[in-house]
Structure 1
Amino acid sequence: MKSLILVDADWIAFQMSSACQFPFRCHDGVWMPFAKEDDVFKAIDERMEYIKEQTGAKKIVMTLSSTDNWRHRFMDTYKGNRDPMNRPVALKAAKQYIAKKYTTLTEPGLEADDVMGIYATDPNWMPSYRKIIVTIDKDLKQIPAWHYNPEGDFEPWKQDTHDADALFFVQALAGDMTDGYSGCKGIGVDTAAKLLDDEPFVWERYEHVFKSGKRAGEKEMRWRKAPAENRYEQALSFYLKAGMTEDDLMNNGAVARILRHGEFDFKTNQTTFNTRELLEVMK
């Protein structure tokens, strides 16, 4: 089967415009970042030729983020820690070049990640091609599709649905501070991932009565483990134990989600998935 690569053009534009930027000393002693557009454009083309060769792709489709972002409806701090001044000076020109030179997909309200996730899992879009997601972003492993990371993979590989869903659970609990959402207090990636090794459990509060000693007869509230019906109940219990709310879980889970086919209504520009339902049906 012929291969098609869905490329994170936000990353390509940023990486190549950064690589071609260098400091320039003006005559008055002021230093400024400097880049030649032609060098940036050449670097983009060379990078894409390399990726095309490594994947054996016959077709390239670049994905660029929209200026607006549906995740801000759930969390206004999402990516709010990004410094707009700390961007390569030729970044805008690089994106414009990509949009002009290559077949490019941009959808209102969507990040490039979501565009890749939706089209890679759409069985009716380019059905005669094996669609490969090309990015260095680990979050895209939430998508059950073919993947290729030019900085870590020797060849394309396929992510299965079980592992993709597991990564979503981990992100919903652990969050991602680089993207501006904290997840559950006190829960990191390793802790969240280890939970998936066993059957789901919840933390429940109970009243403990001291049997002896100076505090004999006194009562205090403690936490203990109890069986859970599904991963949603488990995730919620961790949030509640940390003094957080169900809304915190729903919002963190929402912004953590990389969209798949059927999870976005292009007519209303609204997401159609539900964090609770996604976690409840996890295998």
Structure 2
Amino acid sequence: MGREHALHQVQGRSGGLLLPVSEKLTVLIDGDIIAYKAASVHQKTFDFGDGPVYETDLEGAIGLAENLIYTAAEKLKASSIVACLTGPLMEISARNFRKELLPTYKGNRKGPKPVLLPSVKEYIRSTFDTKIKDGIEADDVMGIMCTHPSLIPGKKVIVSIDKDLLQVPGRHYNPDTDTKRMVSEQAGDRLFMMQTLTGDITDNYPGLPRVGPVKAAAILDEEPDGPIDPEITQLQWHWSRVVKAFEKKGLTEDDALVQARCARILRHTDYDFKRNEPILWSPR
């Protein structure tokens, strides 16, 4: 399928439009995970004592990436596909605003990436309607597009296996577990605060030391000492609990804020479209 065709409709493998335009539904595909999986499956690594040697199959990797994307689109009866990717890719740099906030962010990922990863990502970019923004990750692009009221008309579904994206209010589909979810703003905000406390080993930001999911939930669910201002939101209340927990361990609100800004998946209110840069999250 050519790129121009993919911009407007998803052609099923048996032929035909999957949904009429009046019922437009766009799948926001996590292209990073698709590309990584396809490139990894079609790479064999051998070591004969003088360093690794790779056997790769680019045609197979491209075929698998396409199959994963179209299978998800057909499963959801989508009318449009948008693939979201993270740089570097052609003119898009490897800059990441989270690394500017916390230099150790993703600094633990030292192993070699699949050899075919850049080629598969370029193929996705050239074949599908693809969105990529300098300085932010594919997760952020999906979060912005899913929550923006007018960038994409109709319904949007985030397609990813990444649990972090469940911070984003809206429709979600996990193709590995064949699970559909509708995430409310309150549920998304709670997960955001949970991850601020627990951190993320994969992304290498620590959160609050020695706090796992059970302790994090207990911190957020702590009963107030007295009446709560009726004007305070759930997110503001949870943030006050997060700051209190950080201060109990000799840390500051600024320390908590760095963790929150690393944890937060951007929504459309977290992005400056004129400057093309993220707006750092603030509790105020």
TM range (shorter): 0.7 to 0.9
> What amino acid maps onto 1:106 in structure 2?
I
2:27 and 2:156 in contact (8 A); partners too: yes
CA shift for structure 1 position 12: 0.5
TM-score, with structure 2 as normaliser: 0.81
2:35 and 2:121 in contact (8 A); partners too: yes
Matches of residues 178-197 of structure 1 in structure 2 within 5 Å? 178-197=202-221
SS of 1:181 mapped into structure 2: coil
- Aligned partners of 1:189 and 1:246: how far apart in 2? 20
Q: Unaligned stretches of 5+ in structure 1? A: 203-228, 278-283
SS of 1:126 mapped into structure 2: coil
Which residue number in structure 1 is paired with residue 106 of structure 2?
Answer: 79
1:110-144 CA deviation, whole Å, 9 max, x = no partner?
A: 100000000000111122x2100011110000000
Query: Radius of gyration: which is bigger?
Result: 1
- Aligned partners of 2:224 and 2:30: how far apart in 1? 35
2:169 and 2:188 in contact (8 A); partners too: yes
CA shift for structure 1 position 198: 4.5
TM-score, with structure 1 as normaliser: 0.81
Identity value in percent:
36
Which residue number in structure 2 is paired with residue 251 of structure 1?
Answer: 258
Q: What is the total number of aligned residue pairs between the two structures? A: 247
Specify whether residues 163 and 74 from structure 1 end up closer, same or farther in structure 2 by C-alpha distance, changes over 3 A only.
same
1:119 and 1:125 in contact (8 A); partners too: yes
Which residue number in structure 2 is paired with residue 118 of structure 1?
Answer: 144
Matches of residues 155-170 of structure 1 in structure 2 within 5 Å? 156-170=180-194
Which residue number in structure 2 is paired with residue 138 of structure 1?
Answer: 163
What is the Cα-based RMSD across aligned positions, in Å? 2.1
Which residue number in structure 1 is paired with residue 31 of structure 2?
Answer: 9
1:155-203 CA deviation, whole Å, 9 max, x = no partner?
A: x32111110010011011111121011011121122112334443569x
- Aligned partners of 2:224 and 2:147: how far apart in 1? 28
> What amino acid maps onto 1:132 in structure 2?
V
The answer to whether structure 1 residue 51 and structure 2 residue 72 are counterparts is yes
User: Larger strand proportion, structure 1 or 2?
Assistant: 1
> What amino acid maps onto 1:263 in structure 2?
D
Which residue number in structure 1 is paired with residue 96 of structure 2?
Answer: 69
SS of 1:250 mapped into structure 2: helix
Matches of residues 14-29 of structure 1 in structure 2 within 5 Å? 14-24=36-46
The answer to whether structure 1 residue 233 and structure 2 residue 240 are counterparts is yes
> What amino acid maps onto 1:105 in structure 2?
K
Q: Unaligned stretches of 5+ in structure 2? A: 1-22, 88-93, 227-235
